[in-house]
Amino acid sequence: MPSAIVTASADSVGTITLDRPSKRNAVTYDMWVALGHACRALGGDPMVRVVVLRGAGDHFCAGADIGELLAERPAHVPSFMDVNMIAEHALAHLAKPTVAFVQGDCIGGGCALAIDCDIRIAVEGSRFGITPSKLGIVYPPASLERVVRLIGPAARRLLYTGDLIDAHEALHLGLVDEVLPAERAEERLAELCATLAQRSLLTQAATKEMISAVLSHGAVPADLADAWAREVAVAADPTEGVAAFTERRAPRFSWNGPNPT
């Protein structure tokens, strides 16, 4: 059976597609496992500088497959929630810029996946919802922390009611970064990815980790700042960036990961 998680890469952009359109890309147990693997694979691929998450067909993702949520599994097998959280952690901590391209429904676990990404582009007509209150479950702490960091107290209404909101309200709340008509969205996605791929991955990776620290703890810990300062000291990107600026040409950044210590 073909995987319902499809991974591809081209022009420095890796794409992960949730490929179960007949179920609005609802995520099964096996899909969570495969999604975690895909994030780690693209994170370690030196040719990939940007990662896009999207859904096949008309929708981004309708959430976790509820039919599998409470299924019994052997004691030694990770639970549905375990593999869900492992995949979300791998996506949220992928050390490269990540972009969620959202069309159609982005609900429940699908909304969590979009929030795990750094940037969210929404197509007009998209719908967003965070729906644990409709199932009588408690939202996982890591997912709750990420949505509260993103939109603040507005998360209360979405979590309490489970109501769906449209893309323009999502933009107003800060849940998405851009809303575009369908005929423009793919072009804008390509433009954004091209820009991200041209920039310094050193800058992006360091900034991503330090922003996460600020949102979690209010400041950048000294040891984290020191670690990135050491990395900058031995990396070629700063020299290349200054040379390119001086020579009025596009930079050719080469950093692909921390220097082994």
77 located within any domain:
yes
Percent of the chain with pLDDT over 70: 98
Copy the structure tokens of residue 177.
């970064």
Q: Please, which residues bridge with residue 153 across strands?
A: none
39 located within any domain:
yes
Question: For residue 211, what pLDDT is reported?
Answer: 97
Question: For residue 73, what pLDDT is reported?
Answer: 82
Q: Is the domain of 175 the same as that of 215?
A: no
Q: Is the domain of 102 the same as that of 10?
A: yes
Contact status, residue 124 vs residue 181, Cβ threshold 8 Å: yes
258 located within any domain:
no
Mean per-residue pLDDT, 17-42: 97
Q: Which string of DSSP letters, residue by residue, matches the chain?
A: ---SEEEEEETTEEEEEE--GGGTTPBPHHHHHHHHHHHHHHHT-TT--EEEEEESTT-SB--B-HHHHT----TTSPPHHHHHHHHHHHHHT-SS-EEEEE-SEEETHHHHHHHHSSEEEEETT-EEE--GGGTT-PPPHHHHHHHHHHHGGGHHHHHHH---EEHHHHHHHTS-SEEE-HHHHHHHHHHHHHHHHHS-HHHHHHHHHHHHHHHHHSS--HHHHHHHHHHHHH-SHHHHHHHHHHHTS-------SPPP-
Question: How does residue 257 score in pLDDT terms, banded at 50, 70 and 90?
Answer: confident
For residue 232, the enclosing domain spans 200-247
Q: Is the domain of 39 the same as that of 168?
A: yes
Q: Is the domain of 182 the same as that of 78?
A: yes
Q: Is the domain of 187 the same as that of 205?
A: no
Letter for the amino acid at 168?
A: H
Residue 23 has pLDDT above 90, yes or no: yes
Q: Is the domain of 122 the same as that of 211?
A: no
Distance CA 7, CA 48 (A): 12
Distance of CA 258 to the CA centre of its chain: 21
Q: Is the domain of 218 the same as that of 109?
A: no
Q: Is the domain of 119 the same as that of 206?
A: no
Indicate which CATH number applies to the domain containing 183.
Answer: 3.90.226.10
Residue 69 has pLDDT above 90, yes or no: no
44-67: pLDDT as tens digits: 999 999 999 999 999 999 999 988
φ/ψ of residue 106, rounded to 5: -135, 85
Question: For residue 153, what pLDDT is reported?
Answer: 96
254 located within any domain:
no
